[in-house]
A and B are shown apart, each in its own frame.
Chain A
């Protein structure tokens, strides 16, 4: 007996929920922007500059003593966190006043306090110059990716499809950023990588449904727009669920077994898969109703009318 996630002949009226979905998404976006603006993102050292040390102690680490020791050094904000195991500690030191040399001096001071009894698993230092450059490169990558995707879809479909796909994409990216601001997970280079992958996944999902919409527009010329969109969503629903599930399975493995360092990445991606699937169904496709999509036959009629007009004019 085969496992069937979606029964054949399923016919859910997704479009009927579009008003609720639009309101929900509008609230989600407003909330995301508000939280990001008010609370702000918890930028990691990649962007903010600063120092990160991961150490492993012999026995379970005495974090409160370590915290007292390190906070007494006058290096500003030093945060400590158990990292995956009781004897594994992540130490973050804020960017020091001054230039790169002052940052390197701070690392030496901290290493002096921690001594040779601990294993230095990771030392990361990002100076103010590089941090600023990484912010710029990350933002450029996200914006360029969206522009390139818009152009590609415009080229392959009508421009209306491109606008709806990119609107859904923006929705996914903004809400992911909002989530990171809300739960104060560290926002770093890996998060930008996750954002771009979410963009890729979300657009992939949207394009599959759009492809079917385009096909059905040609096939059922008499049917109403809502009927065609619903039909397209239901016909691709099984695939949408299957791909989401296999991708989520892989990400769950990454989240639970992939180690501490990529856990945040896996988390962002899982959220992205869920929101990307939601936005394809409830945002991208219903938006097609709002953009005055021209049916293939209408277009032909209009073109011939234009041609007639042109003939008359000459």
Chain B
């Protein structure tokens, strides 16, 4: 164990030097490092480690895309079409409607079953049609189609979420798919998560309809003609009930997809949102409004009426929405309309937001805990092992530099639990050296010469170090694999710390001690 070939010496020194070099940018403030990135030669490392949201402040959201809605909407469309077709084909049926993720109906006459099946498949070729014994027909989507609906919904949602968050002007948001139907959103530097959540919590499906003025309605269940539907006003009274209900023609004149721009603005001192249509939308809107001057328009946002103005003149390319906005809500609606509608609603499953003040406090507390812990361990090691203890301390410092370097290189994220992992590593990292030094002490007591005691100490402690560290590493790796968010940061630093401490204990202190041993050739040894 005492023989160190030259190449090995060079390798160990090189790894330590590289570790210190790559850890170095973390000791300097970010703006200076960013400057260096431009001025310094490109081979010099300029990467700092990433601070997690719990340290730099920001919002972490886990969202679920409620894609079942899209499935239900598709089924509703089939049901609507089928109702017309069945009436035209004069087929008797009962109980046509959507139940969960299937549409069902019961055909009165068994002889009609095959006709009904054909009709459904003509309406939507991608559905499965099952016919039961008693004429019960079930319409569902198969697995492939469902997967496609879900995947499309997620890809579209991610795109819309990205556009909406970009409007907030934050830097480096992370928006990625997680699992089957989830989106992970991490936005650094946001301290008011409620604005973010309100921005992502709305589908923002906008459409313009004509009001059906042939009936007057006063409640959600009042009867209206087949082509119309009742919608509530989005204003609520003191009890939380909508102030009014309107009958609205089902068919929209134009929908939000035809918008090319939306801006917050003012009219007579009140906040409004102005918008522009694309050419197709402008032609359709112009035609309808031109033919219906004097009637009322309904502007629907997510199944609620935000405004129901009287059409005073033909409106084509651009218009405004007055909806009793505040400056904030007008601005928010403009953002939502510019970014486009979400294909389905998003539900917040988990939120973790840390304000910038707490983040900085956590960094400071973590730093002082690390420094104090380090100081205590250094003092203790030197008090117990003297010069050998000093060698272990140097190894410990190199160990810390290697952890920093590895985290910066991997661009891993340092979280508060991660700092706890580093502090714990400081305590545990000296274990390998303690094992070796205690073994050397024993061998000296057994009457060996310094040279052979050190040799035996290293070789005998070696298997113990491997066994004991690998078992801890197993726990750390499982923690990483199974852990969520912040705990993973802890597992990463702990694993890197274990690997680095094995390297420094087995290679670095050995190199130091062997080099000293070969120079001094001591006759006696005190460890």
Residues of A at under 8 Å CB distance from B?
Answer: 2-5, 8, 54, 56, 99-101, 104, 107-108, 111, 119-127, 129-130, 134, 137-138, 140-141, 144-145, 148-149, 152-153, 156, 189-190, 192-193, 196-197, 199-201, 203-205, 207-208, 211-212, 215, 235-236, 238-239, 242-243, 245-254, 256-259, 261-262, 265-266, 269
Contact = CB atoms under 8 A, between A and B. Distances in A.
B482 A137 contact: yes
A199 B420 contact: no
Interface in B304-359: 347-355, 357-358
A254 B373 contact: yes
Contact of B471 (A56, A189, A200, A269): A200
Interface string B411-428: 000001101100110111
Contact of B478 (A56, A190, A196): A196
B369 interface: yes
Contacts, number: 237
Interface stretch (B85-93, B228-236, B462-470): B462-470
Contacts of B64: 100, 129
User: Sorted from nearest, which 3 A-B pairs have the closest CB atoms?
Assistant: A250-B427, A259-B365, A253-B373
Interface residues of B, number: 79
Given A127-B349, A144-B482, A249 B355 contact: no
A253 B372 contact: yes
A101 B197 CA distance: 11
Nearest to A146: B475
Interface stretch (B69-77, B98-106, B268-276, B382-390): B382-390
A2 B386 contact: yes
Interface in B487-518: 487, 490-491, 494
B127 interface: no
5 contacts: A100-B64, A127-B348, A149-B474, A149-B475, A258-B366
B347 A101 contact: yes
Summarize A's interface: helix, strand, loop or mixed: helix
Consensus secondary structure, chain B interface: helix
A3 B471 CA distance: 30
Interface of B: 62, 64, 191-194, 197, 201, 347-355, 357-358, 361-362, 365-366, 368-370, 372-373, 376-377, 380-381, 383-386, 416-417, 419-420, 423-424, 426-428, 430-431, 434-435, 438, 441-442, 445, 460, 463-464, 467-476, 478-479, 481-487, 490-491, 494, 526
Nearest to A205: B468
A251 B428 CA distance: 10
B201 A104 contact: yes
A251 B424 contact: yes
A231 to B, nearest CB: 12
Given A104-B197, A119-B355, A250 B376 contact: yes
A241 B419 CA distance: 25
A208 B464 contact: yes
A282 to B, nearest CB: 19
A204 B377 contact: no
A259 B361 contact: yes
Given A121-B354, A127-B348, A189-B487, A211 B467 contact: yes
Contacts of B365: 257-259
Contact of B467 (A121, A122, A207, A246): A207
Nearest to A8: B445
Given A193-B483, A201-B472, A269-B424, A249 B380 contact: yes
A62 B355 CA distance: 22
Contacts of A100: 64, 347-349
Nearest to A203: B471
B468 A2 contact: no
Contacts of B417: 190, 193, 262, 265
A138 B478 CA distance: 10
B289 to A, nearest CB: 36
A257 to B, nearest CB: 4
Given A189-B487, A192-B487, 12 more contacts: A104-B201, A122-B353, A124-B352, A144-B482, A189-B483, A199-B475, A211-B464, A239-B434, A247-B427, A250-B427, A254-B420, A265-B420
